[in-house]
Amino acid sequence: MRIGMTLNYSGGFREAVNDLADYEKAGLDLIYVPEAYSFDAVSQLGFIAARTERLGLASGILQIYTRTPALTAMTAAGLDYISDGRFTLGIGASGPQVIEGFHGVPYRAPLGHTRELVEICRQVWRRERVQYQGKYYQVPLPSDQGTGLGKPLKLINHPVRERIPIVIASIGPKNVELTAELAEGWQPLFYLPERAGDVWGESLVAGKAKRASELGELDVAPQVPISIGDDMARLRDAVRPLLALYVGGMGARGKNFYNDLTRRYGFEAAAKKVQDLYLDGKKEEAGAALPDELIDGMGLIGPEERIRERLAALAESGVTTVNLTPLGANAAASVRQIERLAEFAHDM
């Protein structure tokens, strides 16, 4: 099992990068840089590439609507080049609040946009003259939509790899099916291993049935909070604000993917209560309304023996990479948590 970690996108980037050498020594394999609506991920990934030698780099995630497929492919090839083949392209649809609210472009047809973007990226990396007539992207642009002067072009540079790994962040049934068909990896958020099969099992089977053999096995890389300690109540409380934000506030009533996932896990009443409280401005009460069972199941929190058990449950459910969100009080504590988890993973 590989050990990954997501950087905090809200601040402290330079300080976090300064600590990456310690994380590498502790056993970290992969660093994810998110984008959301903070600083862009690409400039930060370039900075990290220059400051590291072994660590794998991944975008976590680049939003599919905010760059053209060709620019996404060029960016991935550039990051793979400056990192000597260490880059993984993480993509996802994000949500209407960010895509329409911050970028001002329509949030529509995420499945179709994802499929076409992936197919065009792989054309670019193979240095083919890009010619693609899809429903959402036409390359070159048809003459009746522009000047008529566009012509098929291929990437000038030779990429380090003609197949850069693609990881798709997805939790909806159809999106997960598409991920299992097209991508090298799958990044679910708020992953509950004991119920993952019930929620996504059929989608994964359907997608893998259409999967090309050259893609290999699907890398399953959920994002997981980690905090090692004996005070379970305190550790749960550290998780509550983030989980409440997503379940309660990341979307409107009737259009919140994470609230829907919580319901699919079997926590219908709690999902409704958390959302109602959060949208009414009662954020602390919303966090308090999250069931302990949900927090305990989706996190690596508690004493070391419990961490070992939860890591085994993740592995048994098919997880091959854990994308950690350390909840240590400081960098030294987080490094120690990564070190211990790497030891547990290598013992399995």
> What's the pLDDT score for residue 321?
97
Beta pairing, strands 166-169 & 87-92: parallel
C-alpha closest to that of 275 among 237, 236, 246: 246
Q: Note whether 194 and 313 are within 8 A (CB).
A: yes
Task: Say what angle helices 331-347 and 304-316 make with each other, to 10 degrees.
Answer: 60
pLDDT score, position 16: 86
pLDDT at res. 251: 85
What is the pLDDT, as a whole number, of residue 11? 67
Q: What is the identity of the amino acid at 16?
A: A
Residue type (1 letter), 24: E
For residue 13, the model assigns a pLDDT of: 85
- Per-residue pLDDT tens digits for 155-175: 999 999 999 999 999 999 999
Residue 80, both tokens: 């793979």
pLDDT over 90 for what percent of the chain?
Answer: 92
Q: Which residues pair with 302 in a beta bridge?
A: 228
**What is residue 14's predicted lDDT score, i.e. its pLDDT?**
86
pLDDT, tens digit, 9 for 90 and up, residues 74-129:
999 999 999 999 999 999 999 999 999 999 999 999 999 999 999 999 999 999 99
Segments in the chain below pLDDT 50: none
The separation between the first and the last C-alpha atoms of the chain, rounded to the nearest angstrom, is 9
Across the chain, mean pLDDT equals 96
Give the other-Cβ count within 10 Å of 64's Cβ.
Answer: 21
> For residue 78, how many other CB atoms are within 10 A of its CB?
18
Q: What is the DSSP letter of 126?
A: T
Take residue 262 and report the two structure tokens written for it: 């919580």
- Per-residue pLDDT tens digits for 197-221: 999 999 999 999 999 999 999 999 9
Angle at 227 between CA 9 and CA 195, to 5 degrees: 90
